[in-house]
Amino acid sequence: MRLFFKRDDTSSTKQTNATLLFFFELIQIAAISMAIIIPVRYFLIQPFYVKGASMEPNFFDHEYLIIDEISYRFREPIRGDILVFRYPNDPKQFFIKRVIGLPSETIEIAEGLIKVYNDESPNGFVLPEEEYIDQTFTATTRSVTLKSDEYFVLGDNRAASLDSRYFGPVKRDEVVGRVWVRGWPLDRWRIFETPSYEIQEQ
């Protein structure tokens, strides 16, 4: 007596189809993730690490920052913004400084004071006390008139900062974005907003 067994191809086919469907879904998820992550990473926000002490006491060495790259597509940098930009003397390097002078303004620094001349204040005004710095800088004397696409930037640690006092203004096309969030260390996590200045005419 012979027994004949019929091979169950239906179960094997279902398993193969399920495996193929699983890998297809993985590919879809990866493609969608890349389509979202790449534009965000390269056109909206970028991570940066702080190097050096030029922005102390607000930023310390090796802190991790998230940079907003989209805001300046809709507006120009304003006084007090914290910029990340390409170093004018070596575009491969990125610097972080604060905007002090705006396009077409004249900036005078003397005896620890910053005086700004522009169309609204032709007689100039002294930049009010900057609460984000913890020391004055009396040794520097500078006067510069900015072009229509230039910004004058300073480090918050004025006594130990390589900034526009030394390498000159930063051009608009060298600006990468503004500091938005400090993500690391966690105990110093913070969202940064631009300070307001109470301007008093001279």
What residues are labeled active site? 54, 97
Question: Distance between the two ends of the chain, CA-based, in angstroms?
Answer: 115
Instruction: Tell me the CA distances in angstroms from 144 to 85, 109, 151, one per residue in order.
Output: 20, 9, 11
Tell me the two tokens of residue 176.
């990468």
Least Cα distance to 133 among 115, 158, 153 occurs for 158
DSSP symbols for 17-75:
HHHHHHHHHHHHHHHHHHHHHHHIIIIIEEEEE--SSTTTTTS-TT-EEEEE-SGGGTS
Task: Kindly report the length of the chain.
Answer: 202
| Residue 34 main-chain phi, psi, to 5 deg | -65, -35
Residue 130 CA to residue 3 CA, distance in Å, equals: 95
- The dihedral built from the CA positions of residue 97, 101, 104 and 107, taken in this order, carries a sign that is negative
Least Cα distance to 195 among 40, 48, 65, 80 occurs for 80
